[in-house]
Structures are given as C-alpha cells and as structure tokens.
A and B are shown apart, each in its own frame.
Chain A
C-alpha cells in the first residue's frame, strides 16, 4: 500500500516534471522559426484489479507530441511558395516598370526630339547646322535604345545570376533534408518515439525550399521525406539527393536554365513549364512573360523605325545632289544588325542558318507585275497577295472588285518585273510586318518547320527557301542556309528583333558628313515658261521602287487635244483619274482636265491638275541643285505619325506606349496577385499558428498547472512518509 503511494506520487511528479520541461521547451522556443508547440500526452497507468475494484496506479506520459498538422503546414508551404514567386516576379518587373515610367529616360522624349529636329531640317534643308543637330538627336535616340536595352540586359544577367545562386541553395536544402531524413529514421527507430525537434527542422527546410521552388513531399513509413518538383522529378529520396544544375540553355547559351543531374552524371535540361512557384518560378515567369517580350518589343520598334526610315531615306537626294546609286549617296541613315539565329547546342550538323530583314513593304496600293514564260503575276506588295493569268486581261479579271488598278495596258517583257502604283499609295511610305515573337526552326523528317513561339503558329515546307518564301511577307524576315547541311533533328532559335535596340547605329558617313542626309527628292517638275493654260504639275516625288537608272530624265510632257505625249516609250504609266487607275504603256496618255490625274511612272509620281492649253509643256527632271528642297525630310518626318509598326497598325509611339501599358498591366497584376497570395499565406499561417504556435499565457498557466501538480504529487510522498512513520510508531 505504502509503496503504491510512493510509486503513484513519483509517477505524478515525473509526469508533472515532464509537463514542466515541455512547457519550458515551449516557452524558450516560442520565437524559434518552424517550431511547433509540444505537449505531453499523459495517461493513467494500468490499474491493479482488486476485490475492491480497480486501484489506480498513478500516471505516466505516453509521449511528447508536437501539435502539427501536415495539412495546415502544406497549405502554408504552398502559399509561401506563391508569395515568394510573386515577390521575386514583382521585384524584377518593377524595375522595368520604373525604367519605362521615367519621363526623362524613356524612349519617348528621344524619339520626339529626333523628329522635331527632322522638322528643323525641313525648314532649312540647306542648313548644315540643322542637319548636324538632327544627327545629334539621332545619336541620342540610338543611345537611348541602347540604354534601355542595356538595362534589360542587366536584368537578364541578374536573373541568370539569381538562378545560379538559388539552385545552389536548393541543393544545399536538399542535402540537409536528406541528412535529417537519416537522423530521424535512426532516432525514431531506436526509441520508437517521434523526433519532434528534428522533424520541426526538416519541415522548416521544406518550407524554406518552397520559398525557392514549389516542391511536393510525401512521407515514407520510416519517417523519411521524398521531395519532388514539377511532375515528379525527384530532388530527395530518403537519403539520396539528386542535384539541380544551373546550365546554359542548349537553345540559347546566353540564357541560364535549370537542369537535373541524373544518377549517371548527365545533366538533363528541365523544361521551364515543369518548374513553378518559389523564387525560381517567379524569375522564370518574369523572364518569359515580361523580360523577353520587352526585349523583342523594344527591338521591334527600333527595327521598324530603322527599316522604314532607311527605305524612305533611300528615295531622297542629299545636299550634294546625289540620289540612290549615285556617287557617295547613302541609302541607309541607320545601321541595323541582322536577326539573330542561334543554332541549338545539340545540333549534330554544321548547318549555318542566317536570317535577314525583308525591305519594308510600301503601304497598300503598290504592285509588282511579273511576266514569266507567258504567265503574268500581279503581286500586291503590302501583303504578298498574288493574281496570275496567261494574259493581262485574265489577271485583270481575277482581281477583286475595288482593287483599284487596271493592268490591261501594261508592258512587261518576258522575264521582267515592273512596278505599278495606284493613287491610294501615293501619300505614305512604308511599314513592317515584324512581330515581337521569337521563332524556332526545326528540321524533322525532311520537313522544315518554323514555329512562332508566342502563339505556336507553324509553317512547313520541303526546303528552307520555300519556307522562307512562305513567311517573308507575313513575318518580315527571310531565312537562308549560309553553309553546311541540315541533319535530322536540327533546331534553331530565331530572334528577329531581340538585339536590334542594342546594335542600332547611325551611318558613319552621314554622321561625319551631314550633307549626305537625303532631305530633298531627286526629281522635280518644271512648268514650261510659254505655257498659257493654268495646269500645274505638283507633288513630284519618288515612290518605293524608284531607281534613277530606270527612267531617263528629263522627259517633257506636251499637251495636245486631250492627250499628254512624251512619256518614255515602253515605261508603264499608271494614271489615276476620277477614282480609277489605268496602266498605259508609255508614249501618249489621255488627260482629262476636269478630273485631273495622279500619275506614276517608274517610281516617280506627280499630280497634274488644271487645264492645259495645246502645246503646254511640263518637264520632269533631275532635281539638280535642289538645295532648298525638303520634301524627303518631310516624308521622313511623317513616319513619326504613320502606322509603320506591327503590319501597319501602330506608329512608333503607339508601339512604345503599348509596351509601357502591357508591362504596367503585368506589373499591376503581379502586384495584386502577390498581395492576394500574401493574404492567403497569412490566413493559412494563422490557422497553423492557431494550432501549432506557442501562446505564452497558455504556457504560463501550464507552468502553474504542472507546478501545482508536482507540488501535489510531492505532498503525496509526504503523506506516504507520514503514513509509514505512523506504522513505524506503532511498532
């Protein structure tokens, strides 16, 4: 009986002591990250069955459990992974956002200054200082493109660097988890009790890992964790760690991607789609959703600007009186690099594919008419649409109503191509069809396939040349094989606009001699001094396709009896009068004073209006000495507001504003979603804290509770001693 009292008392004291220790443990770890509060699970000892009933045998502590819910912890981890993802995304994209926002450092002011300076040249075409100042603003503009691109490149480098660091951290966490797996298995199997604090540490590591990349965890029977990413790619299995590697992408070696080291040592590149969540997920999404589009869009604006500006510039005449093909005339104002083609590192062949920009097509209304072996083909240059026929009448018949051009009177020698223009085309210049997407060229099963990566549109052909013909109009670039031969499975990444902003420059000849800026037009009209009618030739200008050699200048048109004679024989003259465009074959062309006419011939266009008298003459001649002529610079200036980008749907500023607004929208979306994720995390964390967090007041109460229990149990020993003394006193 007495020993029962002692043992029960001691069991109470032991239990209370464990309770106290556990409470102390809770209190001291109240702020330890990842700590889950613990409590003792106390139970009654097995009673001794006696005749008087079951005699209680005191208490014992079954185990010390941690208050941990796998479910709640999983929720917190997932939310945490989302928070980290959006935070990383936001931190990066906010930098682009800030860069674009700055009213002084953005593209817009430099673009505007450049075009303002062009108008200054238009006001004083002969002024060297006005020309010089336009070239200076062009240099500023080019530097601005370069600066913006440079900032984006820094971000790209930053992302590459961060990925490498994070991959190292992930590997370090994986190793620690594997180590803890081992310790937990050993510890738990030896005492058959949960290794609470080790598990806390391991769960903390899982939580930290989720900050870097979203992982899935499952627990083995022996208590070890298996950790996976993506769709089941293992990071940790028991004590085995599969290492991640930051490697250069086979497709584009300037991009760092993530690979997994297989047990045999080879590194397998993980598709980016498999990796989500955490900082890495945020960085990868930033790169593909914000950074690459920004690179490409900026490059597209730069490329469209340079290509259309150059195309119009080539139609002009410089201050020395030279036009395209003559003397030191410079066709291009801007220098622009070619589209980037990157051969996949895994290619087995040495095929060297090169891409080039197509010359920007002129706006609607420009046609080329070709005669090949008796088949006439009319091509609308704006979009490459073609109509063919065995005769010109057949071609005319194939044209849709309202196309606004009559080719039946044209002359094309077999094997030749001529340029035709209707009046609609005569007011504006060029545009480009470049997109802001990258492309992938693959060679599989004898077929060449080009995939536009932002929408997965594909084109296939049996030869690279045929493929190039398929896409040159719609995508704005051509492909050709510079050397080598393709091998099956070859793949190439084509980035048409990616590096344009970086490599844009100004023609050094023009930069060093501003007189070479083509501000004037190479043709002009002279109205005969003895003309007595009131007809005037106005708006003489060159059109896309103009070549000085194609038309002998000057030629003089003479009016008599409703006809204009003197057009170069054999040249195709398109005349738009009263809304219809008709093509004549040189020589004599009818003219109706009532409607006037817009006339074009070999890339020279002019308007004739008013009533000529018989014998009135109009001369179209070279603009020799035309130093006060600013017509081409006016046409160049108009590019500022013309729809030149994205297939003729936006001007430069529109496209830039679109970039700013797209990026702004994305930034806002990331910010808002990030806040939502944060709220989700807080909610999940609160629920977890409710269960697992230490409440110091509660622990204070427990301290008192176990203290009192201990005191009471100790009192029991005293009672037992007294009882024993009583018995001893009897003896």
Chain B
C-alpha cells in the first residue's frame, strides 16, 4: 500500500483528537456526575427523566397538601375536643339540674352557667383560623356562620354545606373542613327516630299533665316495622304527619288504662287500640295499632310513675334540632319558675330528660364528625407514607436515568487515557521517520 506523507500526519492527528474528544466527554461526565449530558446522549432516558421529575414535583405537591390537610384537620380536631368538653359539662349540669331537690337559686345558678356555655358554644362555632377565615362556614370563609336569625329568633346558619378540598393524592381530593350545618345544626332530636314529649292533660285542655308519670326517650325495637308504618299512608289521617301519636291515660279507681291515638290531624285524634291497654308503672307501652288493619310500629315507650286521669304523652318522628336550640330550651326550662306541686316538678324533670337526650344526640353527632376527621387524619398519614416512599422511589429512578456509574466511567477514562498516550507516542515516532534524515 502506498501511503502519502499527508496521510501519516492526518491519521496521527485524527487519532489523537478523537481520543481527546472521548476523554473530554468522560471528564465532563465525571465532573458533573451525570451520565446524560444532553438529550442526544440518551433520548429515551431524557424524556423519562422529564416525566419522572414531573411525578416528583406532583408528589411534592401532594406531600405539601397532605401537610396542609393535617394541620387543618388537627385544628378542627382540637375544636371538636373543646366542643365535647363543653357538651359534657352541659350534660353534667343538666343531670344536676334534673335533681328535684334543687332550690330555685341553684337552678338559676345552673341556668347562668349554661348561658355562659351557650356563649362559649357560639364562639366555638364561629371559630376563625389564623388567616381570619371561619372554620365552620363552608365555602363562605368570610361569613360569620352562626348568628341569631331575626326571622326565627333562633340561632341561624349563614354558611353553606361546602367542604374545602385539598388535592392530597392524584385521585383523591380530601375535605379539610367541616361545614357548620352538619356539625351544629342537623342533629336529630329524641332517640334519633322519634321524640317523646309530655302532652297536655287531655281532659283539661291547656293544662300540663297532672300526675307524676315520667317518660323515657322511647326505643325502636324493629326499624323495619317502624319505617313501614311511617310509609304506610293508609293508616294515618294525615300521612304528612305520619308518626304523630298521643298516649292518653285514663284512671278509673285503681285501674289505669291507656289508649294510643293517631294525632296526625291536630285536634282530631283517632284511637288506634281496639281496646285500651292496662297500665302499670314502669311498663313499656308498645306503639301499635290494633284496629284493623293492625300494625305494629316496632317501638315502645316506657312510662314510670303514676299518670293522672287524662294525662298524655306525645310521640312524633324526630326532627332536627341544633345544639343552640337544645341549650336555649334547657336554659328556658331552668329559668321557668316551678311551683311546689309534684306534677310541676315531674313536668320539669320530663323537660330536662328530653333535652338530656338531645345533648346526648349532639355529643353523638360530634363524635361522628370527630371519627370522620380521625379517619381522614389516618388517611393523610397513610397517604403521607406512600408519598414519601414514592418520593424515594422517584429519586432513585431519576438517578438511575441520569446519574453516572462512576466505576464504569473511571475505568473507561483509564482505558481512553491509555489509548491517547499510545496514539501520541506512535505518532511522534512515525512522524520522525524520513528518508531525508539519511541524505
């Protein structure tokens, strides 16, 4: 093969520059620690790295939202704790107040204390967060949610049912707030299905019960029967008021009996029992209709003590009663003077026990909301763990995609260095060879 002198020089320099170029790139990789210096080095890995970095960023967003959710939920949980304390306190005072030996002054003192509690409750319901937003107003962050509604003269709700959401996971928006209507307002009274109240003395309209019969909150023994009876339009004079019942006692000598009336059309009672039932104190009165068609409502009410002739108790389906209304009616009962008669004390006792049931319902509602918050907090914790794991995985994935394998790079570097040295040395030698040296 014929070789021109130019070729010797060209090939020599080419070998040297090529090796230098490779070394330069390796050196660049080693100094930055990145395997992929530009997308051209590994287009697929570069695209993957971009997508992974977005996942990482979104994961960080979720972590932050989880942090926010946790703070907000924990703050609500704190409010709920105070609320439980407050209601427990109210309950204790109610129990104390129901004690028939209290003097009017004692009852007044309790009423005053409950009034303070009611103010505490209102303040709590109108709690604001650090930014001045109301906690329990739904979406209406700047609207004071609870105030006396001039139309009804009762505590009104001026917020909405909205729940403030946070994106705590790709597919999960978590409410980080509780709407005030759900927590304070929509609480069923009575036993949650129906409510028992003292009725008037049936024989002397406008008069309270004259005996010493005390009622309990009643209980549902068979929900299915109760619901069927409520939905059965055929058995009610006015189906819209299904569930309105009146238990009326009649006392003839030593013999006390009761009759159950359909009270759904006020003032026009319809007897439901084919024959009045016999009553003894402490008896559970089963709510039923024995006239044709006979219907068992699947519920009963226990009446303790001795009713007077014509005394009555009224049953109606539970409706919603806010915590504020419950406390206001407690305070109202406590500030109403009681005469010395036994039956007025009985009436007071019945009033107290009815509202006590409602306090219990309020407590139950708070604990329901609290357990929702609790389970959200647990969810946040577990999402947080997942997100943190995820973050680690994404980091290591990103590192796999982009980062340099130092061992391999250093070994490559050494190899290239050797090649470059060889190319330089051989070029130096070859280029010195010339016939002219010998002429």
What is the interface of chain A, defined by CB distance below 8 A to chain B?
30-31, 37, 94, 97-98, 100-101, 103, 106, 108, 111-112, 115-116, 119-120, 122-127, 520, 524-527, 529-532, 536-538, 621, 623-631, 634, 637-638, 640-641, 653-654, 656-658, 660-665, 667-668, 671, 682, 686, 689-698, 700-701, 703-704
Contact = CB atoms under 8 A, between A and B. Distances in A.
B276 interface: no
A529 B185 contact: yes
Contacts of B133: 126, 627-628
A-B interface, 6 closest residue pairs, ranked by CB to CB distance from nearest = A693-B4, A664-B39, A628-B141, A664-B43, A661-B47, A626-B139
A653 B50 contact: yes
Contacts of B386: none
A478 to B, nearest CB: 32
Contacts of A536: 161
B141 A126 contact: yes
Contact of A694 (B6, B142, B160): B6
B161 A524 contact: yes
A667 B139 contact: no
A526 B58 contact: no
A565 to B, nearest CB: 15
A654 B142 contact: no
A626 B140 contact: yes
A620 B297 CA distance: 36
B47 A30 contact: no
Given A30-B6, A653-B51, A654-B51, A627 B140 contact: yes
A111 to B, nearest CB: 8
A114 to B, nearest CB: 10
A693 B2 CA distance: 9
Interface string B112-144: 000000000000000000010100011111110
B170 interface: yes
B317 A532 contact: yes
Contacts of A697: 5, 434-435
Given A119-B65, A529-B181, A627-B139, A695 B319 contact: no
A524 B138 contact: yes
A704 B61 CA distance: 84
A101 B40 CA distance: 9
Interface of B: 1-7, 14, 36-44, 46-48, 50-51, 53-54, 57-58, 60-61, 64-65, 68, 131, 133, 137-143, 157, 160-167, 170, 173, 177, 181-182, 185-186, 188, 317-320, 322, 434-436, 439
Given A100-B39, A123-B65, A667-B38, A690 B4 contact: yes
Contact of A689 (B4, B46, B164): B4
Given A124-B131, A526-B160, A690-B1, A660 B47 contact: yes
B50 A108 contact: yes
A493 to B, nearest CB: 29
A50 B229 CA distance: 152
Given A101-B46, A628-B141, A682-B14, A119 B61 contact: yes
Nearest to B51: A657
Given A530-B319, A626-B162, A101 B37 contact: yes
A283 B185 CA distance: 74
Contacts of A108: 50, 53-54
A624 to B, nearest CB: 8
Contact of A30 (B1, B5, B138): B5
A663 B41 CA distance: 11
27 contacts: A30-B5, A30-B6, A31-B6, A97-B38, A97-B40, A103-B53, A106-B50, A112-B57, A119-B167, A123-B64, A123-B166, A126-B133, A524-B161, A525-B161, A529-B322, A532-B188, A630-B164, A660-B43, A661-B46, A662-B43, A664-B39, A664-B43, A664-B46, A664-B47, A668-B41, A695-B2, A696-B5
Contacts of A37: 4
Nearest to A628: B141
B39 A530 contact: no
A686 B7 CA distance: 7
A628 B139 contact: yes
Contacts of B44: 661
A629 B4 contact: no
B166 to A, nearest CB: 6
Contacts of B39: 97, 100-101, 660-661, 663-664, 667
A661 B434 CA distance: 51
Given A127-B131, A696-B436, A668 B43 contact: yes
Contacts of B68: 123
A126 B138 contact: no
B16 to A, nearest CB: 15
Contacts of B48: 657
A531 B320 contact: yes
A126 B1 contact: no
A93 to B, nearest CB: 8
B326 to A, nearest CB: 14
Contact of A695 (B4, B166, B182): B4
Nearest to B42: A664
B358 to A, nearest CB: 14
B7 A689 contact: yes
Contacts of A111: 54
Contacts of B142: 126, 625, 627-628
Contact of A122 (B7, B60, B166, B322): B166
A629 B162 contact: yes
Contact of B38 (A94, A125, A624): A94
Nearest to A108: B50
A529 B320 contact: yes
B41 to A, nearest CB: 8
Given A625-B140, A693-B5, A532 B319 contact: yes
A527 to B, nearest CB: 5
A661 B43 contact: yes
Contact of B140 (A127, A628, A664, A668): A628
Given A529-B185, A664-B40, A690-B3, 17 more contacts: A122-B65, A123-B166, A126-B133, A624-B140, A626-B138, A627-B141, A628-B138, A628-B139, A628-B162, A631-B165, A634-B165, A640-B58, A657-B50, A660-B43, A660-B46, A693-B6, A695-B2
A692 B5 CA distance: 11
B139 A623 contact: yes
B436 A700 contact: yes
Given A627-B140, A630-B164, A101 B434 contact: no
Nearest to B320: A530
A98 B36 CA distance: 11
Given A530-B319, A654-B51, A682-B14, A629 B164 contact: yes
Contacts of B50: 106, 108, 653, 656-657, 660
A37 B7 CA distance: 14
Nearest to A118: B61
Nearest to B9: A31
Nearest to B185: A529
A84 B59 CA distance: 47
B44 to A, nearest CB: 6
A88 B185 CA distance: 76
Contacts of A524: 138-139, 160-162
A613 B3 CA distance: 102
B115 to A, nearest CB: 24
Contacts of B141: 125-126, 626-629
Contacts of A124: 131
B435 A696 contact: yes
B46 to A, nearest CB: 5
Contact of A657 (B47, B162, B320): B47
Contacts of B4: 37, 689-690, 692-695
A663 B58 CA distance: 25
Instruction: Tell which of B7, B38, B177 has the most Cβ of chain A within 10 Å.
Output: B38
Instruction: Tell which of B42, B46, B318 has the most Cβ of chain A within 10 Å.
Output: B46
A144 to B, nearest CB: 14
A536 to B, nearest CB: 8
Contacts of B64: 116, 119-120, 123
